Structure formats: structure tokens, C-alpha cells
Amino acid sequence: MGLVWVDVPDRGKTRHIRAQNPASLPAPTAKAPTTAPPTQLVLRPPSAQRTGTMRRPSTASVHSQMRRVQPSETRWTAEDRLSFRSLRMGAAGASCLAMQLRGKSLTRLDLSDNQLGDNSAAAIASLIHGLPQLKSILLAGNILGNPGLKEIANSELQTNGMLEQLALGEPPPGYSTVIKTARQRPNHISTEGLESLLAALSRNPNRRLAALAAGRIALRAEAGQALSAFLMEDSVLTSLDVSSNALTSEGISALLPSCAKLQMLDISETGCRGELIHGKLCELLQKADRLASLSIAHNVLEPRPMRRIARSISSCASLLSLNIAGTAIETEGVLALADGLLNSHTTCLRELDMSENGISEAEALASLGKIIAGTALQTLRLNRNPLGNAGICQLADSLDADSCPPDGPVLRTLELGSCRIGRPGATFLLIRLRDNRRLLQLRLSDNFLDDSLDMTHIEALRYIQYLHLDSNRLSLRNLTRASRVCAKNRFRVQDQEPRALRKEIRHLQVEEVKLREHKHQAAKDSAEIFVRMSAENIAAEELRQLRLGIMKSARQTEQKVASVEQKLKEREAYMEKLKDALEQTAQENELAIAEKRHDLEDKEAELTELQARLRDVEAQLARRRAQHPKQVAEINEEISAALPKTEEFKSNQEEMRKELKKLQEKTLIDFKP
């Protein structure tokens, strides 16, 4: 294997050594103390040196530098990261790494831009399996194909429970940068390989893979359907990058409806058009509640579909970052986006990239100024837009501290690279930023600035910490002056807190003396308050006991009164019952007396009648005795026979009189005969 270059950070400095083979890497020693910084070992070729030359160091220098790296100086911790980027590594090198790094506590491994093909798949799978704490692996820029990815997926990814990030393709190019760098060689992974990977991931019940980077790997439109079917059933994947693939509008339209659970979605440079995908995209933005980052850069959106997309963007409360660079939205699209963001009460957008959109008209710049002043946007990128001096002057008015007093708008980063800004526009912008306390980073790279720019305006900036002026016509002296101003501002900000703490300490010392006096007085007051509170508590307790006694007596009295009333009610009820019984008995007695009296009258009438008859009989007997002795004798016989009946009637009369007398005594009623 060829010579490689090793960067080993040591106490804030980077030491370069040259190694014959990654197999000679030092073995880990005892566990490092918790205060030691994490070790990062980066292997780079000589072309990555700062000088950019291909000079090969001598053997003596290699050995002298190798002696500087002792095994005791390398500490493996849970934060370790290892980079083998751009080393032309093949299958043999990957197998060597798999053996040497087995069991190490690496969390991130970068194998990008090498020569790892399908024959290296077993070594890569063994490497992943041998690192139990590996969370991220980067495989972009290799010659990996569908068979190799299928072997890795079936042998390791369907059982791995630690890996969180898998990068098969490089991330999209940084549109915030002014100079575009050359892109890596893409892996030739088509829809077939992607389907194998997704099938292996779906079979893994313990999977933690949440980020999949598949940018620029040779996917076509049918890959959108495969990804959509996987995302509909999956709840672990939160970040998906399919940028720089020829998915077209058909593939993106199939993918978007199933992306509602994602937190990051990158579909930039996929060949889709806004008029064909704006319906699905708006539906996604309306129902997504976790989508924080969305990139649709370098796709042709056009102004008309941008109106509806802008309304959906303003209604998505979870969206924090939006990249619409190179989407040809023009002035009409900028106006629609500004109108949606300014009239929305739910948007939380913090980062907006509108580079390469041909923004130059006054209406678009006025809308951008309203976005800066009227929203909570913190990062705005307008690189490669032909703003010119007039446009930058119009935009600078919204950055003045007077527009959003007292410290200016909340914007912290503004990028204006390649915007055709000359000395007048830059001067006006720097004057407006003089009192802006919020803006910390300003990029003016690749503009028309030269040494005629008054550097006193830059030196008057007290709050800008990062000012990028590269790729201009400024001399090294002026660039150094600008970097010193930014370093001074950073140092002042860093030193501001210690100075504020010292001032606060002096103030607190005076306050501490006052505090002691107040504490002493407070102790006295507390003692007096305690005495008074104790007396108050005693009085309150006595009052409580008195109230309890009164309440107890009242309850007892109420119980007695209730008992007496109950007895009284019972006696009244008994008297009522007794009165009713007496009345009923009196009525019954009156009826019985009336009946007895009627019987007595009948008996007396009968007795009177018998007496009358007796007198008549005696008179007739006397007449008959005189007239008819025989009849007299007969009559005497009849009289003799009637005398017993008379006696019986008399005895009955006496009994009835006695009964009547008893009834009179019982009813206390006096009846006269």
C-alpha cells in the first residue's frame, strides 16, 4: 500500500507523520482520564497539505516524526473518530483495518473517496462488526456497487443495533461557499442495491440507523417508490438525503407523501419541477410535524408553483432550515415567500438559503429586507445573486440597528458572496452594521472590493466576529487588518464575561457586607417575630380550645334539646292516641247505654203491662170469685201459676237495675229512673 499522511491532534496543534501502513497504528492503552480531549486520527495524502504540493518527505523525516507518536499518547475514548479519506485504499487495506481496529471504541469512521469496491464488501462488514460502538460510517466516493451493498446489508446491517448514520453518497455541495470544489467519484448503486439495503434494514428489529445519505449514487425514478414503501412502515429513519440523483418529478412525487415522519429531507438537484411536485410538497409541509430541515435546491420551482409552496412553508411550524438555492423563483417567488413568512404566526424558520436565484430587482430586495426585520431568521444566504451596489444599499437599511431597536434584527449570519458588490455598496453596508449587535458573521467573498475600500469602516465594526473577504482584490495587509478586527471582537466577547464577572464580584462584595448587616437585623427581627408568633400561636390554641369547648357544649345542648323534643313529641303522640281511644270508648259506651236504656224501657213497659193485666185479672178474679167460685178457684190457680213468673220478672228487673247502676258508675253518668 502507498505512503499515507497522518494528522494527530496534540494539545490544540496538529502533528503530521507519514506511515507505511495503517496496520502500524498504535494500540490503545489504559483508559484516558475524563478531562482528556477526544482523540481524532486523520489520515490524508500529501496533497492535503496546506502548501498543496506533492513533495514526498524523506525517510529520515518519516522516522523522526514517527518517533514522536508514542503509544502512550494515543487515547481511545467513546468520542474517538478516525478518518481514512482519500487514501486510495482497496480491499487489502480494509481487511487490514478490520483486524487492527477490532474492539476499539470508535464512534465515527470515514472511508470516503477510496477504491473500495464490491470485493471490499466483506472487509467493510467485518469492520462494522468489529467496532461495537461505531455510530457513523462514511463510504461516499468509492466504487461500491449493488452486489457489494447487498453483501454488507445482509451480513451486518440486518443485525447491527448501534449504527446510526450510513453515508453511501457525498452530501450536496455547500451552496454557501463561493468557490465550488470538485466532487467525488460516485458509488454506482442503483435501485436494486437500495432495495436490498432497505429490505435488510426492515428485517432488523433492533435498528438504530436514523440517517441515510444516498446522494449522487445513480438512483432513478423507481427508487422513489421503494423509499416510499419503506418509509410508510418505518419509524426510526429521521434523516434522508437523495440529492443529486436523477429521480425526476415522478420519483419525488412518489417519495414525498411518506416523508411526514422525517426531520431532515434533501431532494436538491434531483431534476424535479415545481409545477409537477408542488401538490405533494405542499401536502407534506402541511401534515409534517417534525420536519426541521428541507432542501429543494437546484430544482426548477418557478414563480407560479412557488406561491402555493410559500403558503405551505409559512404554515409548517417545525421547519427551521430551508434551502431553495438555484430554483429560479425570481422576484415573484421572493414576494410570495416574504408575504407568507410575514403573515404567518406559526413559522419558526431560522435558516434560509436563496443563493443563485437571480435576485436583483428592488421589489425582491425590499421583501428580503422585510423578512430580515420582521421574522426570527438567523441565517440568510444570498450568494451568487446579482445584487450590485444599489441592491446591497437597499438591503443594508434593514440591517440597521434603528430598524429593530435596540440591537437590530435577530439575523446572525449573512452571506453575500459573488453578488457584484463594489466599494460604494460595501461602504454603505459596513456603516449600517456599525451598531448592529446581533450580526456576527458576514461573507463578502468574490466581489469587486479592492484597496480603495476604507478600512476604518471595518475597524469601526465592534460586533462582527467573522468577516470573509477572500477572492476579492484586497491586499494581504487589508485582509490582515480585517482579520485582526474580527479577532479583537471575538476576544472582547470572550473577555466580556470575565470582566462582567469581576465587576459583579466587586459589587457582590459590597452587597455581602450589607447582607451581613441585614442578616443580623433579620435575626433580631426573626427572634422577635418568633416570640410574637409563639404568643399568637398560644392564644390561637387557647381560642381553638375554647371554641372546641363551646362547640362541644352546644352539641350536647342540642342533643339534649333534641332528646326532650323527641320525648315531648312521643308524649303528644301518645296523648293524641289516648284522646282518640277515649272518644271512641265514650261513643261505644253511649251506644251501649242507649241500647240498655231502650231494653230497660221495654222491660218496664212490659212490667207495667203485666201489672195492669194483674190488676185486671185480680179485679176480674174478685168479680169471678163473687160470681163464679169455680172460676175463682181456677183463677187462683192461674194466679198461683203466674206468681213465679212475676218473681222472675222482679228478679230480672233487679238484675237490670244493678247492671244499669254499674254502667252509670263506669261512665260516671247519672241516669234517673
pLDDT at 2 over 50: no
Say how far apart CA 445 and CA 450 lie, in whole Å.
Answer: 12
124 close to 97: Cβ distance less than 8 angstroms: no
Is pLDDT above 80 for 221? yes
Grid coordinates belonging to 286:
402541511
Give phi and psi for 192, each to the nearest 5.
Answer: -60, -45
Q: What is the pLDDT of residues 632-648, one digit of tens each?
A: 677 778 788 777 778 88
In this prediction, residue 624 has a pLDDT band, given cuts at 50, 70 and 90, of low
Q: How far apart are CA 24 and CA 32, in angstroms?
A: 21
In angstroms, the Cα distances linking 348 to 320, 378, 418, 437, 566 are 6, 10, 28, 22, 77
Distance CA 102, CA 558 (A): 90
Considering only 65-74, 532-541, 565-574, 621-630, which range has the smallest mean pLDDT?
65-74
Statement: residue 291 has pLDDT above 70: yes
Instruction: Tell me the percentage of the chain whose pLDDT exceeds 70.
Output: 84
pLDDT of residue 636: 77
pLDDT score at 174: 55
Q: Which residues lie across from 322 on neighbouring strands?
A: 294, 352
Q: Comparing C-alpha atoms, which of 123, 127, 106, 107 is closest to residue 115?
A: 123
Q: What is the pLDDT of residue 16?
A: 34
Instruction: Calculate mean pLDDT across residues 335-349.
Output: 90
For residues 38 and 94, the model is more confident at: 94
Mean pLDDT of 21-40: 37
Phi-psi region of 218 (alpha: psi -120 to 50; beta: other; left: phi over 0): left
When pLDDT is cut at 50, 70 and 90, the band that residue 670 belongs to is: low
User: For residue 114, which of 143, 136, 92, 137 has the smallest C-alpha distance?
Assistant: 143
Using left for φ > 0, alpha for ψ between -120 and 50, and beta otherwise, residue 459 falls in alpha
Q: What mean pLDDT do residues 242-261 have?
A: 94
- Residue 65: pLDDT band (50, 70, 90) is very low
What local confidence, expressed as pLDDT, does residue 668 receive? 61
| Residue 665 confidence class, pLDDT cut points 50, 70, 90 | confident
- The grid cell for 482 is 480585517
- Give the mean model confidence (pLDDT) for residues 96-122: 92
Nearest to 331 by CA among 352, 302, 298: 302
CA gap 658, 364 in Å, rounded: 137
Residue 453 has pLDDT above 80, yes or no: yes
566, 570, 581, 588 from 574: Cα distances, Å: 12, 6, 10, 21
Q: What is the pLDDT of residues 137-147, one digit of tens each?
A: 999 999 999 99
CB-neighbour burial class of residue 455 (10 A; exposed 0-12, middle 13-18, buried 19+):
middle
Terminal-residue alpha carbon distance, the chain = 161
Backbone angles phi, psi at 415, to 5 degrees: -115, 120
Read off the pLDDT of each residue in 58-64 and give the average, rounded to a whole number: 36
The pLDDT score that the predictor gives to residue 76 is 40
Asked whether the predicted pLDDT for residue 383 surpasses 70, the reply is yes
- Average pLDDT, integer, range 284-295: 93
Strand runs labelled E in 328-389: 351-353, 379-381
Torsion of CA 375, 377, 381, 385, to 10 degrees: 0
Q: What average pLDDT does the segment 201-213 reach?
A: 93
Q: Of the given ranges (97-101, 212-216, 522-526, 616-620), which has the lowest mean pLDDT?
A: 616-620
Residues 348-360, mean pLDDT to the nearest whole number: 93
Q: What is the structure's pLDDT at 32?
A: 34
Place of cell 439575523: 411
Q: Which residue has the higher pLDDT, 195 or 43?
A: 195
Please compute the mean of the pLDDT values over residues 404-416 and round it to a whole number. Answer: 84
Task: Read off the pLDDT of each residue in 212-222 and give the average, rounded to a whole number.
Answer: 92
Average pLDDT over every residue of 363-369:
92
The pLDDT of residue 500 is: 79
| Per-residue cell: 431 | 456603516
From residue 500, give the alpha-carbon distance in Å to each of 221, 467, 491, 493, 495: 59, 26, 14, 11, 9
Amino acid 77: pLDDT:
46
pLDDT in the model for residue 79: 53
Q: What mean pLDDT value characterizes the chain?
A: 83
Per-residue pLDDT at 207 exceeds 50:
yes
| Residue 175: pLDDT over 50 | no
Q: What is the model's pLDDT at position 612?
A: 87
Span 471-500, mean pLDDT?
89
**How many whole angstroms separate alpha carbon 2 and alpha carbon 120?**
18
pLDDT tier at 464, thresholds 50, 70, 90? very high
Cell 467519484: give the residue: 185
pLDDT of residue 182: 52
The DSSP secondary structure of 610-659, one letter per residue, reads HHHHHHHHHHHHHHHHHH-HHHHHHHHHHHHHHHHHHHHHHHHHHHHHHH
Provide the pLDDT for residue 503. Answer: 84
